[in-house]
């Protein structure tokens, strides 16, 4: 699933190929992807318009429109934004065409991505209950420690809760917990101040490193540093730090990878 670093890559694609050019036509090839507006109205609204600036918030990508408001893209489980010149890539669901190539394709094998038009980003995020971006420079360790709260919910599920901080999904939650040295099934109530601070630092470091590498969970995973757990997901994998065989757990219906030696439960 595209997570914060993946969507940051798509933001750069949009920034590089989509800004300050007139969108000559929008072709909606799969109407299920468009939400809150009919596909025809969506295509009409953007046809002849221009995108002026990009903004990523968590897993959502926004582009400010010359006519006002914003285009919003979410990439679901398998989505991506890809430039193309002649033939659109496989599984292209929406095409944004310009007078000359490269054009842009919203690609999505499983069609769980969503696009729409948003008037005000702040109001939209609030209405959707989406928390601050996980890399928002204004966030502090103290705020994070407090926001994690208590309760029996596992720390992995809490990290993936977009209402707390936005941008972390299954793969990067595992990576952050690996970096912090915590098992994914630890209840959040078991974490003292020290663990919360450590987790905040791990979250920032993991996401910033992935963004800086231009890496992503789904694509360009090879660009991540070799000590990242993400590169070892799969059968028979070993810990990149201590070579212990990794274990898996199902949390929230998703597979979690962790090292039983490097990651502990603070309750002992």
CA distance from start to end of the chain: 33
Q: Of the two residues 38 and 244, which places its CB atom closer to Zn ion in the complex?
A: 244
Interaction between residue 259 and Zn ion (CB under 5 A): yes
Q: Please report how close the Cβ of residue 259 comes to Zn ion at its closest, in angstroms.
A: 3
Q: How far apart are CA 87 and CA 25, in angstroms?
A: 15
Alpha helices, DSSP H, located in the chain? 4-17, 39-46, 121-128, 141-148, 155-160, 170-180, 193-213
Token pair for residue 127? Answer: 């209405």
Residue from 44, 67, 241, 255 binding Zn ion (CB under 5 A): 241
Question: Count of alpha carbons within 13 Å of 8, Cβ hemisphere only?
Answer: 22
Interaction between residue 182 and Zn ion (CB under 5 A): no
Site mask for Zn ion (CB under 5 A), range 210-239, x = bound: -----------------------------x
Q: Of the two residues 144 and 257, which places its CB atom closer to Zn ion in the complex?
A: 257
Q: Are 58 and 71 in contact (CB under 8 A)?
A: no
Interaction between residue 262 and Zn ion (CB under 5 A): yes
Q: Of the two residues 99 and 242, which places its CB atom closer to Zn ion in the complex?
A: 242
Q: Of the two residues 219 and 261, which places its CB atom closer to Zn ion in the complex?
A: 261
Distances 146 to 92, 152, 168, 175, 266 between C-alpha atoms, Å: 42, 16, 18, 22, 18
Interaction between residue 242 and Zn ion (CB under 5 A): yes
Beta-bridged to residue 73, according to DSSP, are 61, 115
Q: Of the two residues 36 and 225, which places its CB atom closer to Zn ion in the complex?
A: 225
Q: Is 169 helix (H, G, I), strand (E, B) or coil?
A: coil
Active site residue 247: no
Q: Please report how close the Cβ of residue 69 comes to Zn ion at its closest, in angstroms.
A: 48
Q: How far apart are CA 10 and CA 73, in angstroms?
A: 10
Please choose, out of 164-172, 183-191, 196-204, 241-249, the segment that lies near Zn ion by the rule CB under 5 A: 241-249
Query: CA 83, 115, 28, 33: dihedral to nearest 10 degrees?
Result: 110
Interaction between residue 261 and Zn ion (CB under 5 A): yes
Which is nearest to 207 in space by CA: 156, 167, 265? Answer: 167
Please choose, out of 55-63, 160-168, 212-220, 244-252, the segment that lies near Zn ion by the rule CB under 5 A: 244-252
Q: Please report how close the Cβ of residue 182 comes to Zn ion at its closest, in angstroms.
A: 13
Of the listed 5, 8, 39, 59, which one is catalytic? 59
Give the residues lining the site for Zn ion (CB under 5 A). 239, 241-242, 244, 259, 261-262
The catalytic site residues sit at 2-3, 59, 254
């Amino acid at each position: 699933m595209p997570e914060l670093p993946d969507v940051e890559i798509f933001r750069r694609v949009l920034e590089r190929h989509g800004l300050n050019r007139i969108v000559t036509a929008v072709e909606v090839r799969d109407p299920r992807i468009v939400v809150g507006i009919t596909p025809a109205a969506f295509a009409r609204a953007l046809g002849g318009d221009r995108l002026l600036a990009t903004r990523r918030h968590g897993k959502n990508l926004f582009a400010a429109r010359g006519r006002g408001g914003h285009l919003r893209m979410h990439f679901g489980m398998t989505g991506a934004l890809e430039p193309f010149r002649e033939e659109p890539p496989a599984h292209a669901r929406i095409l944004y065409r310009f007078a000359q190539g490269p054009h842009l394709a919203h690609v999505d094998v499983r069609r769980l991505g969503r696009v729409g038009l948003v008037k005000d980003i702040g109001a939209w995020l609030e209405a959707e209950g989406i928390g601050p971006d996980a890399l928002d420079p204004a966030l502090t360790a103290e705020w994070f420690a407090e926001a994690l709260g208590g309760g029996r919910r596992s720390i992995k599920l809490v990290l993936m809760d977009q209402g707390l901080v936005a941008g972390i999904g299954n793969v990067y939650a595992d990576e952050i917990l690996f970096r912090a040295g915590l098992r994914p099934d630890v209840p959040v109530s078991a974490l003292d101040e020290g663990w919360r601070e450590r987790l905040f630092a791990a979250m920032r470091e993991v996401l910033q490193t992935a963004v800086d590498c231009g890496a992503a969970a789904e694509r360009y995973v090879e660009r991540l540093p070799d000590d990242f757990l993400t590169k070892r997901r799969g059968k028979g994998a070993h810990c990149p730090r201590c070579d212990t065989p990794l274990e898996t757990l199902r949390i929230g219906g998703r597979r979690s990878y962790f090292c039983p030696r490097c990651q502990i439960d603070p309750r002992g």
